[in-house]
């Protein structure tokens, strides 16, 4: 018996092995429905409670899986993607869906529509501003709209912290994305700049999970890195305070919220864990890792820069020291734009 058939490529799903072979981006929406991407990248949905064999830890690395199971014992629930956003992503995969119909679906979530326009307008080339949702969808394209929907949804998640604010997080995240876009344009070409922007903006997504589930830990780290010291990085504060590394939390966040592999790679590797880089995503991951360090320079927080990592990756990309410094100075102008993008809803 065929339970599910992909409308795009005709692939049939009838047993557990079919669902778990050559599929990706498994996630659960806030209505409890199970969503995944077919091998053709189309988005499919399984109704709540239909199957009991799916668990996120099946697609996590062993250590991340252990951390995930510990997180499930906490009183605070992990937020899930809105069902309406998943439906919009499903519409994106149907070539018969017009951008007008897609825009109507997205308008069911007004805050999401505003964010999509705002982010798409930042990604434009030229002087004409993007002012309508339909224009944003046409300009950016279907695949990128899907990731902008994810970004806008995650930006709407509320932190439970008292000191480490959402606006601070998103300002730094968008600044990393803008720097990554600038670096990718320089070293990888125009075709990679939007991917680098999105990967950079998501790079520290693990801090979101920390701020929602373990807010006192996030506040403690923020307090430590806010004190001027010679070297005072977030990673060092995690070690000092015995908090799980945000790259591990980032892997978990990427998997439960259904982000693509090129973003997962950048999230996991943005503090220099180069072993295991897939050749397909290595360049984007290196760009994001360097952008994350340059972000601290542009933010006037030099004590948070991991100097050895910054120098290593810049040399890998072929940047000499004076060239790196010049690039950092040129990137200072991106700070204001990042602040605008990061403004709280």
Q: pLDDT tens-digit profile of 207-246? A: 999 999 999 999 999 999 998 777 789 999 999 999 999 9
Query: In this structure, are residues 206 and 253 in contact, taking their beta carbons and an 8 Å threshold?
Result: yes
**Model confidence over 267-297: pLDDT tens digits?**
999 997 655 556 678 899 999 999 999 999 9
| Domain coordinates in residue numbering, the chain | 1-49, 82-156, 159-340
pLDDT per residue over 202-218, tens digit each?
Answer: 999 999 999 999 999 99
Of 226, 234, 313, 300, residue with least CA distance to 273 = 313
pLDDT confidence of residue 113: 82
Q: What is the pLDDT of residue 129?
A: 79
Q: 3-state SS of 102-151?
A: HHHHHCCCHHHHHHHHHHHHHCCCCCCCCCCHHHHHHHHCHHHHHHHHHH
Nearest Cα neighbor of 180 from 270, 253, 251 is 270
pLDDT in tens, 124-153: 665 577 778 888 777 777 777 888 888 889
Residue 294's CB is within 10 A of a number of other CB atoms, namely 24
Residue 125: per-residue pLDDT: 61
For 159-340, CATH number? 1.10.3210.10
- pLDDT band, very low/low/confident/very high, at 96 (cuts 50, 70, 90): confident
- Please state whether beta strands 34-37 and 43-46 pair in parallel, antiparallel, or not at all (unpaired): antiparallel
Averaged pLDDT of the chain: 88
């Amino acid at each position: 018996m065929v339970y599910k058939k992909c409308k795009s490529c005709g692939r049939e799903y009838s047993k557990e092995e079919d669902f778990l072979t050559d599929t990706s981006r498994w996630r659960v929406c806030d209505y409890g429905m199970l969503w995944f991407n077919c091998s053709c990248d189309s988005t499919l949905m399984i109704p709540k409670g239909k199957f009991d064999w799916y668990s996120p830890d099946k697609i996590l690395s062993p250590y991340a899986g252990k951390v995930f199971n510990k997180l499930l014992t906490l009183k605070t629930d992990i937020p899930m993607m809105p069902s309406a956003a998943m439906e919009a992503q499903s519409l994106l995969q149907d070539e018969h869906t017009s951008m007008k119909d897609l825009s109507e679906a997205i308008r069911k979530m007004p805050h999401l529509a505003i964010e999509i326009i705002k982010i798409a307008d930042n990604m434009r080339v030229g002087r004409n501003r993007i002012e309508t949702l339909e224009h944003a969808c046409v300009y950016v394209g279907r695949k990128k709209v899907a990731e902008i929907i994810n970004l806008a949804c995650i930006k709407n998640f509320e932190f439970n912290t008292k000191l480490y604010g959402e606006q601070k997080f998103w300002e730094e995240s968008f600044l990393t994305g803008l720097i990554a876009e600038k670096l990718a344009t320089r070293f990888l070409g125009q075709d990679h700049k939007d991917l680098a922007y999105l990967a950079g903006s998501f790079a520290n997504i693990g801090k979101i999970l920390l701020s929602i589930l373990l807010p006192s830990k996030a506040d403690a780290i923020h307090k430590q890195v806010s004190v001027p010291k010679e070297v005072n990085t977030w990673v060092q504060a995690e070690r000092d305070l015995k908090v799980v590394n945000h790259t591990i939390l980032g892997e978990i966040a990427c998997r439960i919220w259904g982000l693509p592999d090129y973003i997962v790679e950048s999230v996991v590797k943005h503090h220099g864990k180069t072993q295991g880089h897939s050749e397909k995503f290595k360049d984007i991951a290196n760009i994001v890792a360097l952008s994350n360090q340059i972000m601290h320079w542009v933010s006037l927080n030099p004590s948070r820069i991991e100097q050895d990592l910054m120098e290593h990756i810049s040399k890998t990309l072929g940047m000499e020291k004076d060239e790196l410094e010049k690039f950092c100075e040129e990137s200072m102008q991106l700070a204001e734009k990042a602040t605008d993008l990061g403004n709280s809803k």
